[in-house]
Amino acid sequence: MTEFIHPSLDHLNYVDLAQSIKDWALELGFARAAIASIDLSHAEAGLTQWLAAGYHGEMDYMARHGLKRARPAELVPGTLTAVTVFMPYLTGGVDPESVLADTNKAYISRYALGRDYHKVLRARLQQLADKITAVIGEHGHRVFVDSAPILEVELAKQGGNGWRGKHSLLINRDYGSFFFLGELLIDLPLPVDPPLPKEHCGKCTACIDVCPTQAIVAPYTVDARRCISYLTIELKGAIPVEFRSMIGNRVYGCDDCQLVCPWNRFAAASPETDFAIRHGLDDATLLELFAWSEQEFTQKMAGSPIYRIGYAAWLRNLAVGLGNAKTSAEIIQSLQARQTSSDDMVREHIVWALNRHGVF
Ligand code: B12
Ligand code: SF4
Ligand code: SF4
């Protein structure tokens, strides 16, 4: 590894610095790091069309920054390049397919079984920025992890960390797609890595075909309003009735388009202890989670990405799952026990679920 101290940025050997940054990123636990050009002008038309079609639904923040999302230098003045990284999150646990197949179980997206990734990735990227500062001195930079303002997949693709699958997510030959992306926008003219010469989806359309709600409306284009991830995580109010039966037992996010992808067949487990499964969330039953009090939810989900949706949306999602489960006296009783819930939105989902079990 190249380690060096330069007294002034003018004399930097940027090629060595870029290599060192990538080495440090791997030492900090990222699986891959690349330097990406911040010219995303090719993505502007796609972004504009996506927003114009209303595919962002109620995610107003997606439209708020307009084309700045494709123009990092307008978002953070002085930005010249982006360090783009990813970190895998699978940590083993029960086979996802068996959980999806059991209507009594609650399927929670595999990224949300452990500690909130925003905190984990942001802290590591900040450590990377601090390391660069320690070596070259003060410089302009800003860390991004899943924040709405920038097109993260486009940046990762641009730096050659993978290609965009037809489900719209980034895929890497060696790691599949079960990873989080993060970036460091930086004011250094680092030599950029090229995008991959080609993508590797070929004629496959498995992700489009498997999507329970037909949310992938065209290759590379997701209508968020139909996506179970949006319906169970981003949407604050009632889940439109037309989607409830299609959601099945997916109570927080959805992984179907990634589970079916051939590139994920050999996805390796993440060594990150922060992503270790908490509270048996990989294999919990709908009934046990539905029985949690608000206090239990708050205590158990503290530090988890699930905390963000709040108790009402949690019960809403579980009620939909229970409505889709095989009818049993236990399920009907537990739904009835919560019918006095103070939240109108939750109550309406419970009534829907009871109706599905023939209770009117
Ligand atoms: C909003 C958002 C969502 C929305 C919308 C998803 C979407 N596909 O746009 C919802 C809530 C549905 C969602 C769901 C999920 N998300 Co999300 N999401 C984001 C977020 C914040 C912004 C994405 C965005 O800008 N969308 C808007 C559209 C315009 O962007 P786009 O898809 O890149 O659109 C381009 C293409 O459509 C392209 N295009 C249009 N037509 C054509 C045609 C061709 C031929 C080509 C090549 C391209 C093309 O042009 C557009 C502009 O570049 C990013 C983080 C970030 N800041 O980037 C995470 C992010 C994309 N999500 C992530 C994850 C993990 C998920 C889920 C897997 C979570 C889950 N398990 O439930 C699901 C997967 C659903 C899916 N198939 O996309 C990860 C993906 C990691 C990876 N491997 O790529 C990200 C990067 C977060 C992170 N930091 O790790 N997400
Ligand atoms: S996450 Fe689920 S609902 Fe969303 S696009 Fe993928 S398969 Fe469809
Ligand atoms: S399932 Fe097939 S089309 Fe979809 S991302 Fe994977 S390889 Fe590409």
pLDDT of residue 90: 96
CB 305 within 8 A of CB 214: no
| Dihedral angle sign, alpha carbons of residues 261, 91, 127, 302 | positive
Q: How far apart are CA 168 and CA 87, in angstroms?
A: 18
pLDDT of residue 66: 85
Which ligand 3 atom sits nearest the alpha carbon of residue 257? 1
**Final residue in a domain of this structure, among 153, 186, 219:** 186
**Residues β-bridged to residue 105:** 285
111-140 pLDDT tens trace? 999 999 999 999 999 999 999 999 999 999
Residue 164 CA, ligand 1 centroid: distance in Å = 10
CB 184 within 8 A of CB 142: yes
Instruction: Quote the number of domains for the chain.
Output: 2
Determine if ligand 3 sits within 6 Å of the CB of residue 166: yes
Determine if ligand 1 sits within 6 Å of the CB of residue 332: no
Q: How far apart are CA 30 and CA 113, in angstroms?
A: 19
* Domain with 163 in it: 9-94+111-186
Taking CA atoms only, the protein residue closest to ligand 1 atom 37 is: 221
> Does residue 39 sit within a domain?
yes
Give catalytic residues, as residue numbers: 146
SS (H, E, C) 245-272: HHHCCEEECCCHHHHCCHHHCCCCCCCC
pLDDT of residue 6: 44
> Residue 49 pLDDT more than 90?
yes
> Does residue 61 sit within a domain?
yes
Residue 260 banded pLDDT, cuts 50, 70, 90: very high
What residues are designated binding site? Answer: 69, 146, 170, 181, 201, 204, 207, 211, 227, 229, 236, 254-255, 257, 261
- 240 & 337 share domain: yes
Considering every ligand atom shown, identify the ligand nearest to the alpha carbon of residue 219 and give its number. Answer: 1
Find the range with the poorest average confidence among 43-52, 64-73, 171-180, 316-325. 64-73
- 179 & 216 share domain: no
- 156 & 69 share domain: yes
217-235 pLDDT tens trace? 999 999 999 999 999 999 9
CB 247 within 8 A of CB 239: yes
Determine if ligand 3 sits within 6 Å of the CB of residue 204: yes
Instruction: Please report, as a single letter, which amino acid is at residue 245.
Output: S
183-214 pLDDT tens trace? 999 999 999 999 999 999 999 999 999 999 99
Residue 162 CA, ligand 3 centroid: distance in Å = 13
> Does residue 13 sit within a domain?
yes
pLDDT of residue 266: 82
**Final residue in a domain of this structure, among 186, 220, 241:** 186
Instruction: Please report, as a single letter, which amino acid is at residue 73.
Output: A
> Does residue 193 sit within a domain?
no
pLDDT of residue 10: 52
**Across residues 142-154, what is the average pLDDT?**
92
The total of other beta-carbon atoms located within 10 Å of residue 67's CB is 14
**Across residues 20-28, what is the average pLDDT?**
98
pLDDT of residue 281: 98
- 165 & 281 share domain: no
Residue 111 CA, ligand 2 centroid: distance in Å = 14
Q: How far apart are CA 20 and CA 16, in angstroms?
A: 6
Nearest of 181, 249, 202, 148 to residue 33 by alpha carbon: 181
> Does residue 104 sit within a domain?
no
Q: Are strands 179-186 and 216-218 parallel, antiparallel or unpaired?
A: unpaired
- 177 & 321 share domain: no
- 152 & 221 share domain: no
Concatenated DSSP letters of 108-171: E-GGGSSS-HHHHHHHHHHHHHHHHHHHH----EEEESS-TTS-HHHHHHHTTS-EE-TTSSEE
pLDDT of residue 2: 38
**Across residues 330-354, what is the average pLDDT?**
95
- 227 & 297 share domain: yes
> Does residue 194 sit within a domain?
no
| Dihedral angle sign, alpha carbons of residues 36, 40, 46, 47 | positive
> Does residue 4 sit within a domain?
no
| Dihedral angle sign, alpha carbons of residues 360, 356, 286, 114 | negative
What residues are designated binding site for tRNA? Answer: 236
CB 180 within 8 A of CB 145: yes
- 46 & 155 share domain: yes
> Residue 11 pLDDT more than 70?
no
- 74 & 33 share domain: yes
- 227 & 323 share domain: yes
SS3 content of the chain, % helix, strand, coil (to 5): 45, 10, 40
- 34 & 162 share domain: yes
- 278 & 139 share domain: no
> Residue 246 pLDDT more than 90?
yes
CB 341 within 8 A of CB 350: yes
pLDDT of residue 9: 54
Query: In angstroms, what CA-CA distances link 122 with 4, 72, 86, 118, 359?
Result: 25, 18, 12, 6, 47
Determine if ligand 2 sits within 6 Å of the CB of residue 229: yes
Q: How far apart are CA 288 and CA 117, in angstroms?
A: 25
Residue 219 CA, ligand 3 centroid: distance in Å = 9
Find the range with the poorest average confidence among 3-12, 19-28, 95-104, 196-205. 3-12
Between helix 14-27 and helix 117-136 the angle, nearest 10°, is: 140
> Does residue 198 sit within a domain?
no
| The two structure tokens encoding residue 202 | 């070929």
